[in-house]
Structure 1
């Protein structure tokens, strides 16, 4: 027969792992509470302060995609911890839009009722509309139509706040230098994603093409390029327009401008800069 002491000892041994794990849990919870408090009780800010990238803020497939960057450009979506590949040298002398436009305005710029966000027309740092409901509904209708052709589209990034763009852009500058970063990423206040009207589009289960030039060569990418205007979207940074838009080719980046205007821009085969003579 086992003694009472031996039974108590066994029970204590069994309880020991629970005590340790419980103590660790308490310490972790305490650390999280303190850390969030130090970052103004802002969860996104707290996560960013830890160095964890939330580059894909609006995604249907549980956030975080990427892979190595394309040989040409990836705006706002590099792999954390991996350097950008060397991109092809392109004469960008005609797209140095930041020069003379370094000061953020107090109000956003509208041209013929269309909100403009570019290297020449920045947004106020306080402009924070969130994702456009109208644009989201239009995307969902487009995705439903694409599904009939066998393409499962996803908007893996849409609205991004000014504060997040600050951290994102600074990271790219630290990695590649400002001159190189300006070729593929917007400075804070100049990003179309801050408007809530820009959608980075890809095909679900084909994340290797997310934010890559290769998306434009996929059947899904070709479908979006040919049909997005029907739902109010235009490819914002077309191929061969780098000197005009200031950014390299992005077949995944689409901007919602409405179903009346988008077909006109698409059929003309021009950019918003050319359409509005910006």
Structure 2
């Protein structure tokens, strides 16, 4: 009689044959059933099996996702917006601020005193006076700006020549915002602006736009430099501090008028306004 161990070993040796036989039997059975479903036609059965396989492969291809191609985002170029003059009205004495009374009519010719074209509340310009920016004044400013860079200041003239029509729009906007009485203290009516002569330069420091057309410019190092040196290049500060009753305009440490090096030096040394020096 064989031992139990030997019986187990013989069964293990027979087991692969049993499994293989079972699988083969199942495959043969499936093939017989498939051929029977196709009318016992072997060629037809093989053809249908081939078509079924191709459909499954096609389905697998269709389910493959195509890669998503992202189009590059094209950014619009940033356009720099120029800073427009927008003065701040301080609380000061309003007496003599108007100054237009008796000078409401524009003349046919500009007033010239000692070779200087005068534009003020007392001496207006013709509406059609349009010389454009003075080339001589621009050259003088560039000379001054070049000198300022040696001291670390990058000067810019952010407003120079203005036409009669542009001054009209600017003044009307200020009147709309602050009222005429306040606007007359810091903005000229059309025909009365020095900017229409092409000789007035509003000066500031590049990258410090917060001081453009502000009294605070006079407190900056660049503003102090311009106040102390502009006369060397033919410019005078047109509306100094404390001269509103004389000039008709509030303190504007950014507004400089080109009068030439000789006269600018004389006005600076006299420490007077143009009205006082020329007895206007």
User: Unaligned regions of 5+ residues in structure 1, if any?
Assistant: 1-61, 67-76, 79-83
Distance apart, 1:175 and its partner CA: 1.5
Classify the secondary structure of the residue corresponding to 1:146.
Answer: helix
Alignment of 1:1-278 (within 5 A): 64-65=82-83, 77-78=85-86, 87-93=90-96, 95-278=97-280
Checking the alignment, whether the CA contact within 8 Å between 1:63 and 1:156 is kept in structure 2 is no
Aligned residues between the structures: 201
Aligned pair in 2 of structure 1 residues 166, 228: CA closer, same or farther (>3 Å)? same
Checking the alignment, whether the CA contact within 8 Å between 1:92 and 1:246 is kept in structure 2 is no
Checking the alignment, whether the CA contact within 8 Å between 2:153 and 2:222 is kept in structure 1 is yes
Distance 2:121 2:247 in 1: 8
Checking the alignment, whether the CA contact within 8 Å between 2:140 and 2:233 is kept in structure 1 is yes
| Per-residue CA distance 1:159-189 (angstroms, 9 max, x = gap) | 0000001111111111221111101100000
Q: Whose relative contact order is higher, 1 or 2, with alpha carbons under 8 Å and at least 6 apart?
A: 1
RMSD, matched Cα: 1.3
Distance 2:107 2:81 in 1: 32
TM-score of the pair, normalised by structure 2: 0.70
Aligned pair in 2 of structure 1 residues 275, 248: CA closer, same or farther (>3 Å)? same
Distance 2:277 2:132 in 1: 26
Distance 1:187 1:154 in 2: 25
Distance apart, 1:86 and its partner CA: 5.4
Distance 2:230 2:254 in 1: 11
TM-score of the pair, normalised by structure 1: 0.70
User: Unaligned regions of 5+ residues in structure 2, if any?
Assistant: 1-79
Checking the alignment, whether the CA contact within 8 Å between 1:157 and 1:199 is kept in structure 2 is yes
4+ runs of 1 displaced by more than 2 Å?
A: 84-87
Larger relative helix fraction: 2
Name the residue aligned to 1:51. Answer: none
Distance 2:239 2:197 in 1: 16
Distance 2:258 2:161 in 1: 12
Checking the alignment, whether the CA contact within 8 Å between 2:204 and 2:223 is kept in structure 1 is yes
Distance apart, 1:85 and its partner CA: 5.6
Name the residue aligned to 1:9. Answer: none
Q: Which has the larger radius of gyration?
A: 2
